[in-house]
């Protein structure tokens, strides 16, 4: 690259300003963004499955309306993110094909099953809570289209988090069986939620470079700590126990000490052998194939509109 272009890129980062699609950028910066934004977009779309499975079994019309809206929001998040990724010169079609061929990842959390309606609440509270913790700093990420997509995504995620908390709070005011259902769900999701932030910093291959480029603003361990500290008082307010007997406040560090999740399980899930990996990807592939006729019809219609001048 011309030295001037590289200097201008570095100066933009140093000012904490945004890099925009037409600006010069190093190829590795572009590739890192494509990897992270694609993985993020795929997570939103695959994340519709575990909760979508409960739409037909919602316990009331009100819960069904809330869940429908929430799952539709996730589709919207996927679309903003695919659009942000397209500004880097890859098409949504290419990204979708990579997902269904298993060549790009999506968040580990969506490879776990949803076994009861309490899981809808726990996903809102813990999973969307973790997502907010990770995504609020991404509103300041160095790539303009990604940061701007994050602003709207975060507003909707905080609604999702609150609906999850409200669902669990309602169940906790119910019967003993409902309280037990909430506790069982929290016990299952706590460890996978901690894994959402990625491997410990010492094992994270991308963090150092992504921080230097301003793509990430905090490390995986910093965000995990923030999430734990934010969640403990909420668990207390709900009356649920987080399944970690070693979770205690540490005055000296000004945060909680906590047990690390099982990183061997994380590696298995990320490499495709989690409880629901095969099912999630097969479902996405089927939906893509079933939608082929819609894409063909839309393209044929667009071609005809171009050929026939508007009346
Ligand atoms: N699930 C699946 N894969 C993961 C996860 C996870 N929870 N965490 C890390 N990985 C992968 C990385 O993609 C990377 O794999 P690769 O090199 O093959 O691409 C590898 O593990 C090493 O991890 P890191 O070096 O720490 O990767 P990175 O710097 O990208 O940090 C993180 C991971 C924190 C998830 C980052 O990509 C990020 O902030 N992404 C945006 C947020 C996001 O994707 N959220 C989706 C879930 S939230 C929701 O939709 C409700």
Q: 198 alpha carbon to ligand 1 midpoint, in Å? A: 5
Cβ within 8 Å of residue 296, ≥6 positions away? none
* CB-defined site of ligand 1, < 6 Å: 35-36, 39-40, 43-44, 47, 105, 107-108, 127-128, 131, 134, 195-199, 204-207, 210, 216, 220, 270
Computed from CA positions of residues 33, 34, 36, 40, in that sequence, does the dihedral angle turn out positive or negative?
A: positive
Question: Does residue 256 sit in helix, strand or coil?
Answer: strand
Q: 92 alpha carbon to ligand 1 midpoint, in Å? A: 19
Q: 206 alpha carbon to ligand 1 midpoint, in Å? A: 9
Question: Does residue 294 sit in helix, strand or coil?
Answer: helix
pLDDT at 2: 79
54, 120 in Cβ contact below 8 A? Answer: yes
204, 214 in Cβ contact below 8 A? Answer: no
Q: How far apart are CA 138 and CA 106, in angstroms?
A: 17
Say if residue 256 is exposed, middle or buried (CB neighbours under 10 Å; 0-12, 13-18, 19+). Answer: middle
Which residue shows structure tokens 């207390």?
236
Say if residue 210 is exposed, middle or buried (CB neighbours under 10 Å; 0-12, 13-18, 19+). Answer: buried
Neighbours of 208 (CB within 10 A): 12
Q: What pTM was computed for the model?
A: 0.96
Question: Does residue 215 sit in helix, strand or coil?
Answer: coil
Locate the ligand 1 atom nearest the alpha carbon of residue 77 and give its number: 50
Q: 107 alpha carbon to ligand 1 midpoint, in Å? A: 7
pLDDT at 311: 61
19, 25 in Cβ contact below 8 A? Answer: yes
Locate the ligand 1 atom nearest the alpha carbon of residue 127 and give its number: 51
ipTM of the complex: 0.98
Q: DSSP per residue over 50-112, as a string? A: HHHTTGGG-SSHHHHHHHHHHHHHHHHHHHHHHHHHHTTT--HHHHHHHHHTT-S---GGGGS
Q: 267 alpha carbon to ligand 1 midpoint, in Å? A: 12
pLDDT at 310: 66
Say if residue 16 is exposed, middle or buried (CB neighbours under 10 Å; 0-12, 13-18, 19+). Answer: exposed
* Residue to probe by mutation, ligand 1, list 81, 198, 213, most atoms within 8 Å of CB: 198
Which residue shows structure tokens 């990724």?
85
Q: How far apart are CA 153 and CA 147, in angstroms?
A: 10
pLDDT, block means (10 residues), the chain with 311 residues? 89 96 97 98 98 97 97 97 98 96 97 98 98 97 98 96 98 98 98 98 97 97 98 98 98 97 98 96 97 96 88 61
Strand partners, 143: 19
* Nearest Cα to Cα of residue 259 among 166, 157, 191: 191
Would you state the structure tokens that stand for residue 66, as one six-digit string?
């809330």
Q: How far apart are CA 86 and CA 93, in angstroms?
A: 10
């Amino acid at each position: 690259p011309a030295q001037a272009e590289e200097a201008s890129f570095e100066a933009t980062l140093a000012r904490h300003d945004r890099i925009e699609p037409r600006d010069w950028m190093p190829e590795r910066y572009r590739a890192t963004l494509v990897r992270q934004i694609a993985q993020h977009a795929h997570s939103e779309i695959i994340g519709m499955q575990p909760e979508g499975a409960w739409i037909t079994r919602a316990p009331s019309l009100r819960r069904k309306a809330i869940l429908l809206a929430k799952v539709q929001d996730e589709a919207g998040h996927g679309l903003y993110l695919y659009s942000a990724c397209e500004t880097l010169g890859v098409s949504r079609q290419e990204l979708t094909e990579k997902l269904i061929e298993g060549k790009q990842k999506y968040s580990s959390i969506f490879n776990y099953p949803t076994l009861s309606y309490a899981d809808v609440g726990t996903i809102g509270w813990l999973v969307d809570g973790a997502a907010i913790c990770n995504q609020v700093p991404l509103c300041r990420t160095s790539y303009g289209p990604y940061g701007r997509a994050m602003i709207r995504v975060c507003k909707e995620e905080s609604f999702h988090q609150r609906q999850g908390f409200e669902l669990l709070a309602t169940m906790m005011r119910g019967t003993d069986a409902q309280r037990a259902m909430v506790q069982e769900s929290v016990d299952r999701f706590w460890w996978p939620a901690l894994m959402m932030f990625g491997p410990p910093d010492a094992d994270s291959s991308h963090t150092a470079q992504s921080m230097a480029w301003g793509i990430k603003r905090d490390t995986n361990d910093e965000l995990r700590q923030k999430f734990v500290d934010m969640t403990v008082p909420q668990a207390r307010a709900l009356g649920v126990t987080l399944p970690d007997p070693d979770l205690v406040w540490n005055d000296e560090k000004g945060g909680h000490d906590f047990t690390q999740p099982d990183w061997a399980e994380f590696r298995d899930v990320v490499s495709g052998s989690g409880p629901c990996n095969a099912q999630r990807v097969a479902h996405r592939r089927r939906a893509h194939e079933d939608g082929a006729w819609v894409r063909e019809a839309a393209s044929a219609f667009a071609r005809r509109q171009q050929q026939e001048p508007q009346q």
